[in-house]
Amino acid sequence: MRTATRIVQLMLILGALGACASPTKPAFEMSDDCRLRSLPWDGEAGAPDDFVFGGMFGGASRTTRPREGEYRSNNDSDYPSKREDGTSRGGGFGIGIDLGRLLNQSGPATDLVSDWLSEGPGFDARYSNSCMPIRCLVQGGWPMVVDYSPDGQSITTIELHVQGQARPIVHELDNKRGRHLMKFELPASIGTSSRAAVMLVRSVRSRPGESGPGHARIHGLGAGPRAVGSVAIQQVDFRPPVIQRSAQQQASYSFLSKSDFNHFSVGVLRIDGVDGQIKVDLTREFSFAGGISRGSVFGRAPEQFWDGTDAGNKVSVGNHIIQVRAWMSSRNEADWVTAWSEQTVKVAP
């Protein structure tokens, strides 16, 4: 009887821990130097006696995640070599304990694909041009494309953490100054079905004796056959340069899609620049039903406008850019793409 009581007490304790360690929305956490410390699927099947600290609420991961390059890449730049002149941090503290591991069992893999298919590529509400984590879906053999402009004094990498794979895939971009369009293929080892992943675009200083965040502007990014040619969302237009809210002025936005997507959204991002760092903060997001077809220009007939306010209908004073996200929402076709406007719109009171 006493043994049975202890078992019940143990089960209640473990149940309480499990409830505490089950957030409604899986998330990832970043360190101050832009490294992933936890992933949405931390705590699923793994080796016995392996505890996860910070995999649920926050805090530090038990280990430093290894880095291993596996990409097969090529530099296919569609731009001339002319010279030109998105930090997310996790908050809170806690300890997540995987109960399956605690009981010397392997837990089932968390199926994140269904939710992520409907939501599209996920960005934190705040990110920077030196630290951009993206929640996304990938498949083995998929092409990827990134349109970017490094400053020539930084090292920029794409680090891909795929659910079910122990090591991240790391690809270092061409870091010569100027605008580049790079395409590469994801390794077949990821598998032929859609897999949840967290992609981290990270830039650090490369000059001897220097450390800290680097500088690389990302113009567009995509994965999957529909997203890749160049970047499937192009000509993201946002104007005029200045609008005055007191005069009820508005900014217009439009873009061209080079592929069919059955979902897309337009986000307005407020930008803040200090010491060359561009940090963005989601001000407002607009979703549209019906998707967009190949060759279509959205936002011109009819025109689309933003009135200079945030989601709470308050004036968003400062400089802003547009971010377009487009994606497919089936397990067989989970292609996605995102692109940003070159122009900024300044909102005055």
Q: Write out pLDDT tens, residues 55-85.
A: 221 222 323 333 333 333 333 333 333 323 3
Mean pLDDT of 245-273: 96
Query: Mean pLDDT, the chain, as a whole number?
Result: 77
State the alpha helices, DSSP H only, in 209-292. none
Phi/psi at 11 (nearest 5 deg)? -65, -40
Mean pLDDT of 295-309: 96
Name the band, by pLDDT with cuts 50, 70 and 90, for residue 91.
very low
| pLDDT for res 280 | 92
Mean pLDDT of 259-288: 90
Is the backbone of residue 207 left (phi > 0), alpha (psi -120 to 50) or beta?
beta
Set out the domains of the chain in order of their start, with CATH numbers: 233-349 (2.60.40.4070)
Half-sphere exposure of 24 (CA within 13 A, CB side): 0
Say what the pTM is.
0.74
Q: If 0-12 CB within 10 Å is exposed, 13-18 middle and 19+ buried, where does residue 110 land?
A: middle
Q: Let me know: does 221 contact 180? Beta carbons within 8 Å.
A: no
Name the band, by pLDDT with cuts 50, 70 and 90, for residue 276.
low
DSSP 130: S
Query: Which comes out higher in pLDDT, residue 229 or 202?
Result: 202
| pLDDT for res 29 | 84
